[in-house]
Structure 1
Amino acid sequence: MTILPAPMAEIHRGPLAESLHSGHAVICDASGQIVECWGDPQAMILPRSSAKMIQALPLVASGAAAAWHLMPPQLALACASHEGAPLHVAAVNAWLEDLGLGDDDLRCGPQPTRDAALKRQMILDGSAPCQVHNNCSGKHTGFLTLTAHLGAGPDYVEPDHPVQLAVRDAFEEVTAEHSPGFGIDGCSAPNFATTMHGMARAMAWFASAHQRPDALSRAGAQLVEAMYSYPDLVAGEGRACTLLMRAVTEPVAIKTGAEGFFVAMLPQRGLGIALKIVDGATRASECAIAALLVRLGVADPAHPDVKRFLNPEIRNFRGLLAGEIRPAPGLLPEA
């Protein structure tokens, strides 16, 4: 039986719901059981950058993070899709310097900074973007740290490299599923596939990791705490991950991924959320994840930084209010 994607976000203009974004969403508890779901929990997906905390697990669990004296800000960067703002670039460069490495040792590729002021200045200076400006440079510096710890070769993004084999093992452990394969992400690292249930199960694993004594769980708990303690490093000014982590009423780690993916980990409740918009629209995934956080009682819909994603205004070229984005019926709690 095929289960169709469920409505997730509506775009309203005047009296009409002009457009509709559909997708899948799963909420799991600490046992890995589904608490609530929309759409198909068995839909096969690529979690993209929403999997970064999973990709960082071997860095911590192996002892590499401790051996290189990494601090929580660096662990947050290892999980980040950052803006390439000056604070991100400086932190990644300092980390690389500690490793005795530089920009050329990264394998993520150059990407223009998304920080408007820095971008303007680089254009004025005639400076080309470097790999440290890439939103994944923190993750890749984490890969380099693990590479050094393992004494492995420099091409750490190759699927058969010890770093990526360790990532795959961690991915299958926390999703509790065999991954059928991978796609190559925008930063050149393998991105392993799983089901929506598997990804939500993984997020609940992270949310409850602080309750377990094994090394992998201790690593997961450190990463979750680093993310919600340093939201500016995980994304940046104006970004949904950062603003929602600041706005929630209890510690929650929140992470976006390309093509309409979002995850959240709620440590005080042992709950994990995985969300996928099937057409890949970020405007819909941000609206839907905000709605689910409100539904679970950890976000106030009246908070300005929740409302800006829950019900963003649509304004025309004259600045007149023309419509808004709304969560689809059934996502928000009933009044």
Structure 2
Amino acid sequence: MTNPVALVEIWRGPFLESQHYGHAVVCDEAGEILHAWGDPETVVLPRSSSKMLQALPLIESGAADRAGLTDEQLALACASHNGADIHSMRVNAWLKELGKTDEDFCCGPQEPRDIPARDALIRDGKPVCRYHNNCSGKHAGFLTLTDHLGAGPDYVALDHPVQAAVKSVFEEITQLDTPGYGIDGCSAPNFATTMHGMARAMAFFAAANLDGDRRQNAAARLRNAMATYPELVAGEGRACTDLMRAMGHKVAVKTGAEAYFIAIVPEKKLGVAVKITDGGTRGAECAIAAILAKLGVLDAAHPLAAKYIDAPICNWDGLVTGRMQPTAALRS
């Protein structure tokens, strides 16, 4: 990742203590770059920020409608959730609808990020399961598509019809051939693309119309489901959920591991992609919030936004010792 620029600053008292460097791109519906920081052509793995792309074949194929999936389930298909009861109960219900069990998931068991859910497992002596995995909604979508296609159970294999469909969609929407892939934390392939390609893809989702062709309809349904159910996309206290609520459910945002973040802005038909090169999630959260404020769709003074823009840093005694803020480059 060449030529990243400083996007976020960490101040302690009067001293600039740390900086997060990265890349960011804002595209319009034509795929043209409106704003860029760093190198728009740098190649990255978008990780879970690409989940709406991975979910497109679920709707395009007719699998979602055949299975009668709800908007809540479509939101879960795009989620990196906390493993709270609101997530696990819905994923388990989806599994039962498919006639599947936890063992049919190819994602590994993951301890819930949600503290009450985690503590309940410990108190009750129950095991951590695959449906607790933050990607279990995506995998429920993969299983639904697998059944629809009559394909085999190893749906995360690169040559499986599900992943072939995902790769095809990914390249068509980014308008770039992917240079390769990495295996994600949930065992599924994660395809690489440029920052420009990812922002262009998000702009497609932003401009998509429910009354358009099959692909546009699918993209609009996923985007709307995410914005409508931000608590299912992430969870309480998470930046994705906070920011979507702060913007009145009008914008969809999604984090990815190693400090990736995207935003889909239907009102302005814009797509945003952000990558912090050191993998620091706090930097990506601050940067995406600052860009959304710059675009005029997020009020930086909103209490849920202020957690990420000009956020106070407190010590263990509750004293404000510093702040995290976007650099002048993001503010201008």
Alignment TM class, shorter chain as reference:
over 0.9
Instruction: Give the aligned residue type for 1:324.
Output: R
Q: Counterpart amino acid of 2:110? A: Q
1:116 alignment counterpart: 115
Give the share of equivalent positions with the same residue, in percent: 58
- Which residue of the partner structure matches residue 329 of structure 2? 330
Residue 260 of structure 2 aligns with which residue?
Answer: 261
Matching residue of 2:178: 179
SS in 1 for 2:267: coil
Structure 1 partner of 2:97: 98
State how far apart, in whole Å, the 2-side matches of 1:71 and 1:205 are: 22
Look up the match of 2:6. 7
Q: Do the aligned residues in 2 keep the contact of 1:9 with 1:287 (CA within 8 Å)?
A: yes
- SS of residue paired to 2:330: coil
The alignment covers a number of residue pairs equal to 332
Mapping of residues 229-248 of structure 1, within 5 Å: 229-248=228-247
**Contact kept? 2:210, 2:218, Cα under 8 Å:** no
2:45 matched residue in structure 1: 46
Shift of 1:212: 6.8
Instruction: Work out the CA distance in 1 between the residues paired with 2:248 and 2:23.
Output: 25
How far apart, in 1, do the equivalents of 2:242 and 2:5 lie?
26
Distance (Å, rounded) in 1 between the aligned partners of 2:262 and 2:296? 16
What is the deviation of 1:215?
Answer: 1.0
The code of the aligned residue for 1:71 comes to T
Q: Which residue of 2 is the match for residue 170 of structure 1?
A: 169
Deviations 1:149-198, CA, capped at 9 Å, x for gaps: 00000000000000000000000011000001100000000000000000
The CA distance in 1 between the partners of 2:34 and 2:210, in whole Å, is: 19
TM-score, with length taken from structure 2: 0.98
Give the conservation status (yes or no) of the 8 Å contact 2:227–2:249. no
Aligned partners of 2:157, 2:2: CA distance in 1, in Å? 35
- Say which SS state the counterpart of residue 159 (structure 1) adopts: coil
SS at match of 1:57: helix
Spell out the pairing of 1:215-226 with structure 2 (5 A cutoff). 215-226=214-225
- 1:115, distance to aligned residue in structure 2 (A): 1.0
Q: Name the amino acid aligned to 1:107.
A: C
Q: CA deviation at 1:217?
A: 1.4
* Large movers: runs of 4+ above 6 Å: none
Deviation (angstroms), 1:268 = 1.3
Say whether the 8 Å CA contact 1:250–1:298 is kept in structure 2. Answer: no
Structure 2 letter corresponding to 1:247: A
**Partner in structure 1 of residue 208 of structure 2:** 209
Q: How far off is 1:311 after superposition? A: 2.0
Structure 2: gaps spanning 5 or more residues: none
Matching residue of 1:75: 74
User: What is the RMSD computed on CA atoms of the aligned residues?
Assistant: 1.1
> Is contact 2:300-2:309 (8 Å) kept?
yes
| Counterpart in the other structure of 2:297 | 298
List per-residue Cα deviations over 1:3-43 (Å, max 9, x = no partner): 51011100000111100000000000000000010000000
- Distance in 1 between residues matched to 2:248 and 2:326, nearest whole Å: 20
Whether the aligned pair in 2 keeps the contact of 1:41 and 1:195 (CA below 8 Å) is: yes
Report the equivalent of 2:29.
30
